[in-house]
Amino acid sequence: MTISERLFSIMQKKDISMPELSRRTGISRHTIFDWHRRNTNPGSDKIMVLCEALEIMPEELLLGQAANEPAEEQRDISLGDFELQILEICRGFSDSKKRRLMAYMSMLQNMKE
């Protein structure tokens, strides 16, 4: 399922129309309609705005997985100094900043080197 398919599925579940999403996000109705009609995905600059308007975590929109659902594969990992430093910094973030960071990391993960 693509991001746009997830977006419209979530909108349907939450009974949010395209005009209502436009009002909540400031994204033009035309742009939202194009995502639906052409089955194209929103740009990375719109993901967090959409998530905030839909009151969902980025994982749900980007990956189709709610933040509280366990990942399909749980890995046993040992954290190095760098990872521990990142975690320590993240602990001080607000929920909003954490959601933005997760969206950014998801986008980075999907980028080609």
Q: Which domains are assigned to the chain?
A: 3-67+78-110 (1.10.260.40)
Which tokens hold the place of 109?
Answer: 């993960």
Beta-carbon count within 10 A of 30 CB: 9
Tell me the angle at which helices 44-54 and 95-110 cross, rounded to the nearest 10 degrees.
140
Helix and strand numbers (H, E) in the chain are 7, 0
Asked if 48 and 55 count as a contact pair (C-beta separation under 8 A), the reply is no
Render each residue's pLDDT in the chain as its tens digit; 113 residues.
888 999 999 999 999 999 999 999 999 999 999 999 988 889 888 989 999 999 998 888 888 876 555 545 444 556 677 888 888 888 888 888 888 888 888 888 777 76
pTM assigned to the model: 0.59
Q: Is 1 helix (H, G, I), strand (E, B) or coil?
A: coil
